[in-house]
Amino acid sequence: MDRFPPRTRRAALDVQPLDSLDLKLLQALQLDGRAAFSRIGDVLGVSDQTVARRFRRLRTTAGLRVLGVVDEARLGRTAWIVRLGCTPDVAEQLAIALARRSDTRYVDLIAGGTEVMCAMKPRSEKDRDELLFDRLRRTPRVTSVSAHCLLHIFYGGPLAWLDKIQALDPEQVAALRPPRAEPRSGTVTLDADDEALLALLGRDGRATFSELQSATGQSESAVKRRIERLRSSGVLYFDVQHDTAPLGQGVGAMLWLTVAPSALAEVGRALAEHREVRFAAAITGQANVVASVLSSDTGELYRYLSEKIGALAGVQSVETVLSLRQIKQLTYEPTR
């Protein structure tokens, strides 16, 4: 197997800065991943052919993919962040093995080469226990397993870092943003046809209705109704997967914050407003808040820690862990 997954190799060897139209297209797709190129072109003041060309180019130069994502919380499932200590000789193999699993979302190889971090969403308690308490602990050369349950998400899910780049003006955002899902109590139950459709959208969020019809055996009208229902219930949203280096964000880090319980909500709200933060949540464990941040370089990361994090009342300590390489970002693409 090639040592570097495709997106990592491309980001390392072929980083091309994006122009203003590229950034507008990325934010437009984050607002509505299934928006027609003609609709995006109308809002941006360019032709649909221009949008299509830019989309194809960004797939190559910035790893652009639009994926349908399931909000597991709407299905009554719990998400976890797992930190795995291991010997340096197996770290990459362990990360790749985790990336291949369908119940992992993000897998990072941590700087130093002795830790792997992943976000996991087991489908059941049985699956959770089998992985966390059995398989991982019996894996050779895994020296520690630390699992942290996500209690409350301050920023992430349908809200993504691309929402913060402000490439679009407020009028363009309003024109592209789809109707928001109405909050509903209780969990949602999926049937087999829902599961099949979500699996396809999880591989290509912009698959055409005719492609989805052919793959699922459902009528095109039925596919449209199911997507609308899944989106309106909050189960399905669309996320833009991309390399961060072309956007000038070459340094990724995880912050593990220990926060006074009385300050959790206030610190969470502040983190959600920080441009550097792409994910933040309250978790179980001694460090009770975790945040994923992006910076242009280590100097900017230092300033963020000292000026913004340092100014938050209630933050008692911070552990900063640099990401050496992202092995999986929602989906894993093995080399061919």
Does residue 137 share a domain with residue 89?
Answer: yes
Look at residues 232, 264, 286 and tell me which one is the last residue of a structural domain.
Answer: 232
Q: Max CA-CA distance within the chain?
A: 57
Q: From CA 56, how far away is CA 284, in angstroms rounded?
A: 41
- Degrees (nearest 5) of the Cα angle 307, 313, 319? 65
Q: Is residue 179 part of a domain?
A: no
For 91, the domain range is: 72-153
Q: Is residue 318 part of a domain?
A: yes
Does residue 137 share a domain with residue 81?
Answer: yes
> For residue 113, what is the domain's CATH number?
3.30.70.920
Does residue 255 share a domain with residue 194?
Answer: no
Q: Are strands 251-259 and 289-295 parallel, antiparallel or unpaired?
A: antiparallel
pLDDT value for 278: 96
61 contacts 7 by C-beta, under 8 angstroms: no
Nearest to 8 by CA among 310, 269, 323, 243: 243
Q: Is residue 56 part of a domain?
A: no
227 contacts 178 by C-beta, under 8 angstroms: no
Q: Is residue 112 part of a domain?
A: yes
Nearest to 293 by CA among 232, 331, 251, 336: 251
Q: Is residue 303 part of a domain?
A: yes
Domain count, the chain: 3
> For residue 219, what is the domain's CATH number?
1.10.10.10
Q: Is residue 66 part of a domain?
A: no
Does residue 141 share a domain with residue 101?
Answer: yes
Read off the pLDDT of residues 64-116 as tens digits, 9 standing for 90 and up: 999 999 998 899 989 999 999 999 999 999 999 999 988 898 999 998 889 99
Ramachandran angles phi, psi of 229, nearest 5°: -70, -40
Residue 285, Ramachandran bin (φ over 0: left; ψ between -120 and 50: alpha; else beta): left
Give the CA distances from residue 86 to residues 37, 110, 112, 215, 307, in Å, rounded to whole numbers and listed in that order.
Answer: 46, 11, 11, 41, 33
Q: From CA 131, how far away is CA 125, in angstroms rounded?
A: 10
Does residue 141 share a domain with residue 88?
Answer: yes
Does residue 148 share a domain with residue 77?
Answer: yes
Q: Is residue 182 part of a domain?
A: no
Look at residues 179, 207, 232 and tell me which one is the last residue of a structural domain.
Answer: 232
- 3-state class of 105 per DSSP? strand
Look at residues 153, 180, 210 and tell me which one is the last residue of a structural domain.
Answer: 153
pLDDT value for 12: 44
Nearest to 329 by CA among 73, 5, 3: 5
Does residue 80 share a domain with residue 143?
Answer: yes
118 contacts 156 by C-beta, under 8 angstroms: no
Does residue 270 share a domain with residue 225?
Answer: no
Specify the pTM. 0.87
The two structure tokens encoding residue 45: 């003041």
257 contacts 292 by C-beta, under 8 angstroms: no
Cβ burial of 132 (10 Å; 0-12, 13-18, 19+) is middle
Does residue 224 share a domain with residue 251?
Answer: no
Low-confidence stretches of the chain (pLDDT beneath 70): 1-15, 181-184, 332-336
Does residue 257 share a domain with residue 208?
Answer: no
